[in-house]
Amino acid sequence: MVFLEISRDLAHRRLVDRHGHFFTVELMDDQFEELQPPAETKQLIVVNAAETPGRIVDEIVDRLGLVASPPRPGGR
């Protein structure tokens, strides 16, 4: 399992940039109030969600000891 760790401030900035999204800042605040971040274990890794999506994927693949396959033509 992978836990994407993100600060409340960064999550807030990303959320307000999503126009027309159903998830409100109030809902986000409620989620952060209840969040109990897990401790990293052999079965769970914690990854910084402030990175770019590509770097996040690279770190997950690396830390799980997987081999990333090259992108397919057409993005599929």
- Cα separation of 44 and 1, whole Å? 5
When divided into structural domains, the chain yields a total of 1
Q: Residues in the chain with pLDDT < 70?
A: 68, 75-76
Residues 6+ apart with CB under 8 A from 67: 61
| Model-wide pTM > 0.85 | no
- Kindly state whether residue 35 falls inside one of the protein's structural domains: yes
Question: What pLDDT does 32 receive?
Answer: 93
- Kindly state whether residue 32 falls inside one of the protein's structural domains: yes
Kindly report the average pLDDT of the chain as a whole number: 88
- Kindly state whether residue 76 falls inside one of the protein's structural domains: no
Domain holding 39, by residue range, is 2-69
